[in-house]
Amino acid sequence: MRVLKSILLATDFQPASQDATNVAVELATAFGSHITLLHVIEPVPNWPLPLNEDGKQAPLQKVSAALVEQKVQVAESSIVVGPPANTILNKAQEINADLILIGAGNRTGQFRFSGGPTAQTVIEQASQPVLAVRPGHPPVKFQKILCPVDQSSTSAQGLRNAIRLAHVFGGELVILTVVPEVNWLTAAVETRQFADARTEYELKWRDEFDQFLATIPTQDVKSQTEIRYGAPDEQIIATAEKHQADVMIMGATGRTGLVRVLLGSTTRRVLERLPCSLLTVKDEDIMGGSVSGRSSVDPVADARGAGSEFVG
């Protein structure tokens, strides 16, 4: 069991980091969290050089002051020289962060962004959940949440977190599963049916989806389900764009076996064409409390109270 008390906010003062700071305020206010601010300076030849106090410390102090002004507790702010991704990961371990919050997104076209190498490495290697905030529109308000699932235990973790965030922020939830394209032989092995193997495979996937949803009640949030067919990353991106999702929540690893529908590799491909901000969850849930809708405690009030729990 983990509580969302410690958020590591890594900033480089670029637009994506500025948007990430706004999200940090939303989360810290909702969950009573404290924030550790980190700015990483990449080493250059002939390093070390003396830090330029005006050029480095002043922007970080400005971010810290803005957080305090919004009644957010700043536990620490520091500047560290080192490789960005490794430094962020090490700091997260040092402070036992419950969530890593980073900016993500390099413009690759008029309306396209891709996750940068730092974001990709942090998402892949962090043991904690990571929220990578895409700059610009749509801003992260947790109002339209997309949760792709593959019926694995890891995607169940992601869905529980998505439900809890929808509770806390009054958002709408879209639960998506993508039936992957498979050849006849794979479908036959998976279903143990030789006649109409692909059709049987699709029916089996849909049935597993229904059973999966039955184990994680969503009745207390506004939600809808969607089933698509094809390449998971392409369909996830298309669904995010269709529903104008402001954040998607995904398990960082997923289903294995003959089909090899790995949310880990799918997450990587989605990050390459980032349609909205992305929260990845691994083996440990980040959001806690009852999501069954049967608790007598108001979920929003409960989450906003001190010590709101992330489920582990």
**166 close to 172: Cβ distance less than 8 angstroms:** yes
Hey, what amino acid is at 231?
A
Identify the pLDDT of residue 204.
84
Q: Which residue in 271, 235, 234 sits closest to 252, CA to CA?
A: 271
301, pLDDT greater than 60: no
Q: What is the pLDDT of residue 125?
A: 86
Residue 155, pLDDT > 90, answer: no
Task: Quote the tokens at residue 153.
Answer: 């235990």
248 forms beta bridges with: 146, 278
Report angle CA 19, 21, 24 to the nearest 5 degrees.
115
Confidence of residue 114 (pLDDT cuts 50, 70, 90): low
pLDDT at residue 201 tops 70: yes
Up-side HSE of residue 278: CA atoms within 13 Å toward CB? 32
The single residue listed with the structure tokens 């700015």 is 39
Can you read off the two tokens belonging to residue 160?
A: 């529980």
Enumerate the domain spans of the chain.
1-136, 138-312
Q: Are strands 6-10 and 99-103 parallel, antiparallel or unpaired?
A: parallel
* Whether the Cβ atoms of residue 89 and residue 122 lie closer than 8 Å to each other: yes
Topology of 1-136 in CATH?
A: Rossmann fold (3.40.50)
Confidence band of 110 (pLDDT split at 50, 70, 90): low
> In the numeric block, which tokens belong to residue 222?
């506004």
**Chain segment 246-284, per-residue pLDDT in tens:** 999 987 764 443 333 344 677 778 887 888 999 988 755
**Contact between residue 13 and residue 54 where contact means Cβ atoms under 8 Å apart:** no
Q: Do the domains 1-136 and 138-312 sit in the same CATH topology, yes or no?
A: yes
Number of residues that this document lists for the chain: 312
Say what percent of the chain tops pLDDT 70: 72
Neighbours of 84 (CB within 10 A): 22
What totals of helices (H) and strands (E) does the chain contain, helices first?
10, 14
Q: How far apart are CA 92 and CA 274, in angstroms?
A: 24
Mean pLDDT of the chain: 78
Task: Tell me which of 42 and 91 has the higher pLDDT.
Answer: 91
Instruction: Determine phi and psi for 79, rounding to 5 degrees.
Output: -115, 130
List the strands of the sheet with 130-133, edge to edge. 73-81, 34-41, 6-10, 99-103, 130-133, 277-281, 247-251, 144-149, 172-179, 222-229
Lowest-pLDDT choice from 53-62, 163-172, 226-235: 53-62
The predicted-structure confidence for 127-154, as pLDDT tens digits, reads as follows 889 999 988 777 899 999 999 998 888 8
Answer for the pair 23, 35: CB distance below 8 angstroms, yes or no.
no
DSSP 302: H
Longest CA pairwise span in the chain (Å): 72
List of residues 6+ apart from 107 with CB closer than 8 A: 113
Q: Which CATH architecture has domain 138-312?
A: 3-Layer(aba) Sandwich (3.40)
Contact 262, 178 (CB under 8 A): no
Residue from 99, 223, 208 nearest 162 by CA: 223
C-alpha distance from residue 97 to each of 25, 103, 245 (Å): 16, 17, 26
Predicted TM-score (pTM) above 0.95: no
In the prediction, which pLDDT does 263 show?
Answer: 47
